């Protein structure tokens, strides 16, 4: 063969080797991409699990707080000096596009007490309470002629939020010592 043909064959052989190396590198790249995607899926799964756990903790705190204030108000159904005859919790109502959920609703013959319960109350929660109060008589027209009172109940409320709540005319309910109830069955276990 001629020198030119030898050079062409050498070039073609080099191109072929380069293509094989590129193909191998491409395959390795695809495998690395797949491994990265699998690792990302595993990371996403773990993050979702953490998110679910944290959400569950927050939800549990909310349930504990609601149960505490509901039971406390069942035992002493007053907001300030106003006595209420009935108390309910977790009332949802929708009328047209308007929808609200009320944590605790207290009633008597002429007044309604709406209690917004938060584990830790913030000033923005007061706006939610005001909105719920504005919407109450639209959602429950049977109470049109009732006086409407609002209350924020919380295990913790910072001083600014408490001051704001009181200035807006809301009752503020907070946890205080001396509220432990001990129930026991007929037979106590004594060892």
Domain boundaries, the chain: 67-174
* Rounded Cα gap, residues 5 and 188, in angstroms: 104
Check the CA dihedral 22-28-32-34 and report its sign: positive
pTM of the model: 0.66
% of the chain surpassing 90 pLDDT: 38
CA–CA dist 187, 92 (Å, integer): 40
d(CA 76, CA 49): 40
Express each pLDDT in 44-71 by its tens digit: 787 777 666 655 555 667 788 899 999 9
Architecture of domain 67-174: 3-Layer(aba) Sandwich (3.40)
Average model confidence (pLDDT) across the chain: 84
CA distance 181 to 74: 13
pLDDT of residue 50: 66
Per-residue model confidence (pLDDT) at position 33: 87
Q: What are phi and psi of 178, to 5 degrees?
A: 80, 25
Q: What is the pLDDT of residue 104?
A: 96
7-36, pLDDT tens digit by residue? 888 888 888 888 888 888 888 888 888 888
């Amino acid at each position: 063969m001629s020198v030119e043909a030898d050079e062409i064959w050498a070039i073609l052989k080099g191109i072929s080797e380069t293509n094989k190396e590129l193909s191998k590198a491409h395959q390795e790249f695809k495998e690395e991409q797949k491994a990265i995607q699998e690792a990302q899926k595993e990371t996403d799964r773990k993050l979702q699990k953490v998110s679910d756990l944290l959400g569950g903790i927050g939800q549990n705190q909310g349930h504990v707080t609601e149960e505490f204030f509901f039971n406390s108000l069942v035992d002493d159904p007053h907001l300030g000096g106003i006595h209420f005859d009935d108390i309910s919790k977790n009332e949802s109502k929708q009328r047209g596009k308007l929808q609200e959920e009320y944590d605790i609703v207290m009633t008597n013959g002429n007044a309604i007490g709406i209690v917004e319960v938060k584990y830790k109350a913030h000033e923005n929660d007061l706006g939610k309470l005001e909105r719920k109060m504005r919407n109450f008589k639209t959602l429950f027209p049977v109470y049109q002629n009732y006086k409407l009172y609002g209350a924020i109940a919380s295990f913790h409320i910072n001083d600014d939020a408490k001051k704001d709540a009181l200035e807006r005319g809301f009752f503020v309910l907070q946890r205080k010592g001396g509220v432990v109830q001990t129930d026991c069955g007929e037979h106590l276990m004594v060892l």
